[in-house]
Structure 1
């Protein structure tokens, strides 16, 4: 098995274009030496806050090797959110790069002030240690940790404010979250002859469970991608034909032009597309499945949360994707709970008593993979932990056959409305490059925020797109680049309310966000 990054790793001074397992192990050992030389000791917390790439995983592995606790922060986090999280964890060391360190908070302070020391991956940054000077220092002996010991912190998406820091132990992350994915379950897991392409925030727990499955199932080639720019992806995929692609919805959106171009066959060999973190629009799924020349390509969509790992899974075939959305009304199905791993139930948001099948309610999950808590925020954790059950904060419907259909997040849910389903239909009826967020309000129909490539919306196209839907307010049109999103591409609806609705309150309680 070999790994091919789309660009050299930021922690590899030699700039290797191809990495085998031994090269990766050497990189981890040398990085562990650098962290130790920078003063990191067993039990210390150190923050990884850098441009997204596969080496975020390797930095975490290097720290865990010497008994330290990595705090994984996305380089796409707003500077003030990063400052708040660094204040919360008080790291011994901050590992970052020049561009991010040059960003100042709203009060003008430097991020280096929130850690005892800063290790910069670039050279010549004042008041920091240079990674290149310490790389390859003596690697201390590995430090074992107990299964119930804190292993790592990662953060939630932050769609409603400062993200939460999630506490993972080896028992939860390795023993439970990664366990199912490491099983050989053809055709939905990796084959030995697969070429796997991965686009993900490598600071997220999803990246850690994924790398366990890669190392266990051993596909032939792994393309670790830090960029979904079509100019980067197209040539690489032409040279190394992927058979499995996993990406965020925003990555699939950015690469959609490659899939739609009949002259481009970058996705022709793909047998399975995978998405996580959020639902992908049907208008995006369809061109990818149609671009594959595999006789029976699948789209695998996972339902899960950072706190629980995977909770359900569903599949879309090419035939299903090509059926018009207005012929298949109803909430989006996210699959059935994984047998033997997860239980799901739907309850009344006020009484927490189970509701009959077919009626909407709060989705609760029971899984042994539930993480250990929120770092220094036990009150927020206790608000969502209901005994052995976990309050997902989602509103959904359970069918008589046990499948779960999602309606909305509780914070955005208004009874009688299904905004997520309506958004799917609208986007499917608009030209490529459009996105929509519906914001329910207390004194009228939902307000559509429509993001278009150039900030302009054709009135006739809009009227055709919403003709068969319940009443909507007049759309507010913005440029696609102005749609506020988290580091994983999720729309920040609270920010839309603040910008365009004068901060109008959301319809739900927001207790479980």
Structure 2
């Protein structure tokens, strides 16, 4: 098929890229689960052919136009290819991370009522061990691997669908559901966020196509990413890279430092994107082997707040004269809203008790508007006063599948309640304070965490939990499982009073697919309760 301009439907995005004048190559840390025999270096045509092949397999498994296809699999870019394969004939794919609990998977799949469930062996086996049945009798299960423990009767392996013929391209309408993804799920079962072609590729991804100086990929760039591929961010990123066509894209699907070290050593990226807590874990790599980051001119952090120590560490590791860190703030429901840039010079700012990275910049002009309102009345609050941040954008999601009442509770005309608390400063510049559910009266948990990380170099992670009627409780991950009392007293100097610190191993901290801390679960794990100060109404 020939295209006059870039598509706004995911179903033909890979076909479009295969026919573009300039193309990029995908370099993977491991083969795709949906195409395990295709290796780890795929051209644009091979990517498009993988989508066509998997589209044929989904159709042969019984999926049809208008049906939902649930994709519950291990983290990799092929989640996006599998979603494109379903969207190609008008089915509605839902991408779900394998790291969710079996109980969360059961709830989300029940809401989806999919015709076909594509699933990795891991979540299938974990569900079986927990006594959870992921799919009902009306769902055909396709297992991306061996039909082992937990595979229901009638389940299919990829090989069972060999030789299937690709169906005709029949895309959903611009305003019809095209893709379902889930929210981070820090406070419970993730919400199923429904987007159309218009709100996703035509809305959220619009800025990715623009050739902004410094920020946009160039043909000589090597663009690497290590994020949760279950989320809509990767769809926007893929569109941007396909339009801008860097030399290659590097996919790091497993976030451990061993895999990251191997891929960064082999490909030496010039731009690098990851979730902030992944960058935080990689700090040890940047300190031990800074040469891996010497060519990086642009770092991109998305999905969560970032801490100053992390930004400084990676900017220092770069061998460029003027490396830049781009930090975005947004949500799956509305896409990216605000951006700000950090440079080495800006990161030298260390005002006592504050964190420069709490600054999230301004709303993207021409794309979004933000206002800060009182949590009780909904009226705008004065400058430098905390309030709930409301966003107006044409990229707002269509619904929460199975939870429309929850969606309507957050929608106020054209405005969307983000559930994030922030402040508007001079000229409308925004500062992120906390999630409303994680509020700590009189202070910012995010800033406390940033300051403590700065002052405690042997601490790899900090989470400050607000406790009703008590002092906030800091939960720390240290490199050796110990915390010197004198170091702790020095770190707390000038900060609001804090409770006694609790030590937890990094690997024992419950996290989402984007490596955000599941604060409710951590609160129960450490304190024996999920009770928080915030209402959690807009989570």
Q: Is the 8 A contact 2:353 2:494 kept in 1?
A: no
Q: Secondary structure at the match of 2:476?
A: strand
Aligned residue runs from structure 1 range 441-480, under 5 A: 441-480=467-506
Once the two structures are TM-superposed, the CA of residue 317 in structure 1 deviates from its matched residue by 0.3
Spell out, residue by residue over 1:269-313, the C-alpha distance to the aligned partner (whole angstroms, 9 max, x if none): 000000100012211111111010111000000010110001000
Q: Is the 8 A contact 1:272 1:300 kept in 2?
A: yes
Spell out, residue by residue over 1:211-259, the C-alpha distance to the aligned partner (whole angstroms, 9 max, x if none): 1101111111100111122222223222211000000122212322221
Spell out, residue by residue over 1:33-92, the C-alpha distance to the aligned partner (whole angstroms, 9 max, x if none): 111111111111111011111111100000000111111110111111001111111111
**In 1: Cα distance, 2:138 partner to 2:253 partner:** 26
The number of equivalent residue pairs is: 512
* 1:391 equivalent in alignment to 2:431: no
Match of 1:55 among 40, 54, 78: 78
Structure 1: 5+ residue runs without aligned partners? none
Spell out, residue by residue over 1:122-164, the C-alpha distance to the aligned partner (whole angstroms, 9 max, x if none): 1344532011231441001101221111111111111111111
Match of 1:493 among 504, 519, 522: 519
1:75 counterpart residue number: 98
Match of 2:233 among 206, 215, 218: 206
1:102 counterpart residue number: 125
2:286 counterpart residue number: 259
Match of 1:346 among 331, 355, 372: 372
Once the two structures are TM-superposed, the CA of residue 445 in structure 1 deviates from its matched residue by 2.0
1:369 counterpart residue number: 395
Q: Secondary structure at the match of 2:517?
A: coil
Once the two structures are TM-superposed, the CA of residue 419 in structure 1 deviates from its matched residue by 1.7
Aligned residue runs from structure 1 range 14-413, under 5 A: 14-104=37-127, 108-113=131-136, 116-125=139-148, 126=151, 127=153, 128-261=155-288, 263-324=289-350, 326=352, 332-413=358-439
Q: Is the 8 A contact 1:441 1:504 kept in 2?
A: no
**In 1: Cα distance, 2:386 partner to 2:290 partner:** 43
Spell out, residue by residue over 1:390-431, the C-alpha distance to the aligned partner (whole angstroms, 9 max, x if none): 111111110121110011111121331222111110011112
Q: 1:8 to 1:330 in 2, by over 3 A?
A: closer
Q: Secondary structure at the match of 2:466?
A: strand
Once the two structures are TM-superposed, the CA of residue 168 in structure 1 deviates from its matched residue by 0.5
**In 1: Cα distance, 2:302 partner to 2:377 partner:** 31
Q: 1:120 to 1:331 in 2, by over 3 A?
A: closer
1:437 counterpart residue number: 463
**In 2: Cα distance, 1:219 partner to 1:40 partner:** 35
Once the two structures are TM-superposed, the CA of residue 106 in structure 1 deviates from its matched residue by 7.7
Spell out, residue by residue over 1:430-468, the C-alpha distance to the aligned partner (whole angstroms, 9 max, x if none): 124422211222323211122223432221111111112
Q: 1:365 to 1:264 in 2, by over 3 A?
A: closer
**In 2: Cα distance, 1:466 partner to 1:186 partner:** 41
Spell out, residue by residue over 1:464-485, the C-alpha distance to the aligned partner (whole angstroms, 9 max, x if none): 1111211111112222222121
Structure 2: 5+ residue runs without aligned partners? 1-23
Q: Is the 8 A contact 2:305 2:358 kept in 1?
A: no
Once the two structures are TM-superposed, the CA of residue 325 in structure 1 deviates from its matched residue by 5.3
Q: 1:445 to 1:266 in 2, by over 3 A?
A: same
**In 2: Cα distance, 1:230 partner to 1:354 partner:** 44
> Please, what is the CA RMSD of the aligned residues?
1.7
Q: Is the 8 A contact 2:354 2:451 kept in 1?
A: no
Q: Is the 8 A contact 2:102 2:130 kept in 1?
A: no
Once the two structures are TM-superposed, the CA of residue 28 in structure 1 deviates from its matched residue by 0.6
Q: Is the 8 A contact 1:449 1:476 kept in 2?
A: yes
**In 2: Cα distance, 1:383 partner to 1:135 partner:** 46
**In 2: Cα distance, 1:480 partner to 1:123 partner:** 32
**In 2: Cα distance, 1:325 partner to 1:226 partner:** 37
Q: Secondary structure at the match of 1:161?
A: coil
